[in-house]
Each structure stands twice: as structure tokens, then as C-alpha cells.
Amino acid sequence: MSLAALLDGLPIPIIQAPMAGATTGAIALAVSQAGGLGSLAAAGLTPEEIEAGVAALKRETSRPFAVNLLVAPSDTPDAGVVAAALARLAPWYAQAGAPLPAAPNRFAHDFQAQLAALTRAPPPVASFAFDLIDRAQVEALHAAGSYVVGTANTVAEARAWAEVGADGICAQGFEAGGHRGNFLAETEASLVGTLALVATVRDAVDLPLIAAGGIMDGRGVAAALALGANAVQMGTAFLLSDQAATSAAWREAIAAAPDDPTRLTRAFTGRHARGLENRFMREMRPLEDAVPAYPVQNRLTGPLRAAAEAAGDAQMMSVWAGQAVALAGPGDAGDLIRRWWAQAGEAAAGVSVRVNRGEKV
């Protein structure tokens, strides 16, 4: 077996994007059972929770699924940096009526321990974003029985994943909701649209390719496959689905969003991410470059965002969503992928009629 064979063997070549904070194993199960590839977002899980999550999915389905980790540093930042970041956030905590947190001892789960858990409880596919893992780590996952997919925002990043032995590339265009995955160059130099990225990575790297970013229905699925993708990864399109863990405030903000509502910001987490523009993003913009890098700022704004979310205040929480969020709709996640796949067939047939009209030029 190979990753290419696994993807080509999916009845529906749609991967439900891992979405930390918006998904649980329930949506992964629904999508895998319906013939797609579900993903468990494991960035926020302890090693024990990762092992339990993989075991539960293996118990509940014989279909393949993916587990995703974010490759983030776990070293402790300078106390002065943390104090300055908290001081910047103090007015926001006051507005939310929530206590300013004390400087935490830890800012994220230990990545090495999470990775070790994945190697002990290997999923069919292990996917990564934010940085590379090294060749030895890729080989350990292979030996355990997992295929490795690396997220790339540029052709150079796709080549880097190929060099460490990854089995496939998830090419994340700049339309995508949530965090940017760039790790080689600054964000400004890594904002390639899905159309350009998928076609250029397809030509540069001889690995199975997964297209992500702005794909919201069957039209996008057909377009990505036409560009040479083996499968697509869709995130925002699932945010209103029955099995998504999206909060009521998040769902309402999506439903009420104006035209073209998303922006990139690093103010919430210290890493650029795309979401619905709100007051926190706008007012923090002048300070954005000063906030400490992920995961530090992510941890420091966590209680603020949770308080705003609980209060239904979408102006102080991160409402991650991609550029085409207006196309998101409700429904059972399994029904959604079946509908998108049927639409993809119609879209491809329509293009085929036009292309094969028989006119000689």
C-alpha cells in the first residue's frame, strides 16, 4: 500500500481538515464512515488523549483516518516577554470581565511527547503543520504503520517535506481558514493562492498532493482534482456541520458575516491565521508585530477568547474561517461530502462538455 493508493481508494477523495478547537473525533468518524478521510485534530490533546482518541477511532471504524499535530516549540519564553504580553492584554480581559491570568508554566503540550504517543498508537495517516519533523521521526512513523503528510504553503516547503521522506503534501493556499502553516519564509512571502500553489507543487514534487484552501463544495473539489490534486482537504466548509464542535457564537458570526469578511492576524496566537475580522483584530493591529510567537500568545489569549465565546461576544474571540466562508452550510458531515462529490461530478461533466465541444481552432 502507498499513500497514493490510500487516497485513490477513497470512495470520496475529501479529507475533513483537522481543526483544533472546532472538531472532535465525532466528525472524523462521520467523514471516514461516509467514504472520505476524517481527521482528528490532536494539537490540543495530551499524549494519553491522543492514544485514547486513536484507539476509539480504530474501534469505531475500519476506514482510514488521519491524526494531526502542530509542530510547535515548547521552550519557556523570557518572563519579561510574558509580562509585557499580559500587560497588553489586560484591558481586553477587563472588558470581558475575566481575570487576567497569571504567567503560565507551560504554553503548549510537549510536541515530542505528543509525537511519541502517535508513534505508539499509529493512525493510518499522520499529518503535520507549522514546521517539519525530521527524517528519523518520519521513519519511526513509517515503521509504526502511518503515512506522513506535511503541510506546505510554498513550493520550497513542499520540497523540504519531500526531503525528510514525507509520503504526501497538503498544499495550503492563502484562502484557507485558521493558521497559516508557513515555516521557511515570513508570511508575506508565503501567501500563495490555492490555484497557483497546487499547480506549482504538482510540477515540482512527485508525491501525492492534497489541495486545501477555499474549497467549499463540489465545484472546488473538481477544480482541485483538475489541477492535479489526489484529494482535497476542506475545513471551513464543515464549520456549520452537525458534528463540528463550533460554538454557538462562532456559528452565529459566520451566519451574520458580511461579504469578504476575513483577514489574517497574528494578534490572537502569535502566528498568522485567517478569521472573521472583529474588534480585537482591528484594535490590536498596531501591536500585532510585538506579540510573542505561537504558542505563547495563543496560551495567553486562551482564557479571554473562552470568556468571550461563553458570553456570545464574537468581537473578542478568534472566529477562524476561510475566504469562501459564505458558502458554508449546515448538515450531517457525511451527507455533506456525498453531496459535494455528486456536485464535483456535475461540475466536471460541465467542463468536459465545453472542452470537448469539438470545435477545431
Ligand X SMILES: Cc1cc2nc3c(=O)[nH]c(=O)nc-3n(C[C@H](O)[C@H](O)[C@H](O)COP(=O)(O)O)c2cc1C
User: Interface residues with ligand X (CB under 6 A)?
Assistant: 17-20, 22, 41, 43, 68, 70, 129, 151, 172, 175-178, 212-215, 233-237, 320-322
| SS3 at position 173 | coil
62 phi, psi to nearest 5 deg:
-95, 0
| Cα gap 108→289, rounded to integer Å | 21
Cβ closest to ligand X, residue 30 vs residue 215: 215
Cβ closest to ligand X, residue 118 vs residue 215: 215
Least Cβ distance, residue 164 to ligand X (angstroms): 17
| Cα gap 90→73, rounded to integer Å | 25
Name the closest residue to ligand X (Cβ).
235
| Cα gap 338→39, rounded to integer Å | 17
| Cα gap 250→136, rounded to integer Å | 40
Burial (0-12, 13-18, 19+ Cβ within 10 Å), 103: middle
Least Cβ distance, residue 241 to ligand X (angstroms): 12
| SS3 at position 137 | helix
Least Cβ distance, residue 94 to ligand X (angstroms): 27
Cβ closest to ligand X, residue 93 vs residue 340: 340
Least Cβ distance, residue 215 to ligand X (angstroms): 6
Cβ closest to ligand X, residue 169 vs residue 176: 176
Would you list the DSSP string of 192-260? --HHHHHHHHHHH--S-EEEESS--SHHHHHHHHHTT-SEEEESGGGTTBTT----HHHHHHHHT--SS
What dihedral do alpha carbons 262, 267, 272, 274 form, nearest 10°?
-20
Please state, in angstroms and as integers, the Cα–Cα distance from residue 192 to each residue in 18, 19, 27, following that order. Answer: 21, 21, 29
Cβ closest to ligand X, residue 140 vs residue 317: 317
| Cα gap 341→352, rounded to integer Å | 16
Cβ closest to ligand X, residue 53 vs residue 82: 53
Cβ closest to ligand X, residue 82 vs residue 221: 221
Asked, as a colleague might, if the bond just before 295 is cis with ω within 30 of 0, I would say: yes
Least Cβ distance, residue 127 to ligand X (angstroms): 6
Least Cβ distance, residue 273 to ligand X (angstroms): 8
Yes or no: say if 230 and 13 are a contact pair by the CB < 8 Å rule.
yes
Least Cβ distance, residue 167 to ligand X (angstroms): 16
Least Cβ distance, residue 358 to ligand X (angstroms): 36
Cβ closest to ligand X, residue 205 vs residue 328: 328
Residue 245: all three cell numbers together:
464542535
